[in-house]
């Protein structure tokens, strides 16, 4: 369980997060929802240990001390802007990735239809296919907590539903997911409420 208490963060341009308090249960799928500029990316970077809060505290299992060292080996973080190797063909990139991970997931590759792009260079991929490849790298691991910044970017509503179903199936394998989402209409249709800048 991850708990954020009274998190605030400011940059020179002003306040980005103002007194945010949330609890993320274990083995859950949690959406950080709001429009662009609401501070979602900053908040999940704080959760992932890539940024420090200006004030407030982050706890894991109700323990505050040395949060990053407690959680760093448990997290995979996929940023919104994530550059893969543009000159690699997709099949060669996956061979490299599987070798580094010492793990592969053919079922996930099939669910994301990656065989359709094996013979393409990463630089040639559309935004949607590039996003699918990014999601594969994020979901093809055994990390306990997977953090996805704008995972639905480049997808239409039917594709978004497919990705949601894939994430739910991975959650059943006892991974925990934290997503930042700006597609407010899609989130509301699925019963979610947006997180405002000053919650």
Query: Along the chain (199 residues), what's the average pLDDT of each consecutive run of 10 residues?
Result: 89 87 86 83 89 87 68 84 89 92 90 95 94 93 88 87 88 82 61 41
Cβ proximity of 177 and 28 under 8 Å: yes
Say what the pLDDT of residue 13 is: 75
Say what the pLDDT of residue 122 is: 96
pTM higher than 0.85 = no
- CATH code linked to domain 2-189: 3.40.50.300
Cβ proximity of 151 and 78 under 8 Å: yes
Say what the pLDDT of residue 78 is: 93
Q: CA angle at residue 102 from 99 to 108, to 5 degrees? A: 95
Say what the pLDDT of residue 168 is: 87
User: CA–CA separation, 87 vs 89, rounded Å?
Assistant: 7
Say what the pLDDT of residue 194 is: 42
Task: Say how many Å lie between the first and final Cα of the chain, rounded.
Answer: 20
Q: For the chain, give every domain's residue range.
A: 2-189
SS3 at position 63: strand
User: CA–CA separation, 30 vs 183, rounded Å?
Assistant: 15
Of 89, 101, 179, 86, the C-alpha closest to 140 is 101
> In terms of DSSP H, where are the helices of 49-183?
67-71, 90-101, 106-111, 127-139, 157-171
User: CA–CA separation, 3 vs 57, rounded Å?
Assistant: 8
């Amino acid at each position: 369980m991850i708990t954020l208490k009274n998190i605030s963060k400011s940059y020179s341009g002003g306040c980005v997060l103002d007194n945010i308090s949330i609890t993320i249960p274990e083995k859950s799928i949690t959406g950080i929802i709001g429009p662009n500029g609401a501070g979602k990316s900053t908040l999940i970077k704080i959760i992932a240990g890539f940024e420090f809060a200006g004030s407030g505290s982050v706890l894991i299992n109700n323990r505050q001390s040395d949060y990053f060292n407690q959680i760093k080996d448990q997290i995979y973080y996929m940023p919104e802007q994530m550059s893969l190797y543009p000159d690699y063909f997709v099949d060669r990139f996956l061979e490299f990735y599987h070798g580094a991970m010492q793990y592969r997931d053919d079922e996930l590759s099939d669910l994301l239809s990656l065989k359709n792009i094996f013979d393409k260079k990463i630089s040639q991929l559309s935004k949607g296919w590039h996003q699918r490849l990014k999601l594969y790298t994020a979901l093809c691991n055994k990390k306990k907590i997977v953090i996805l910044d704008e995972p639905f970017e480049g997808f239409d509503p039917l594709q978004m539903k497919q990705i949601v179903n894939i994430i739910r199936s991975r959650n059943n394998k006892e991974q925990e997911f934290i997503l930042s989402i700006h597609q407010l209409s899609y989130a509301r249709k699925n019963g979610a409420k947006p997180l405002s800048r000053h919650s």
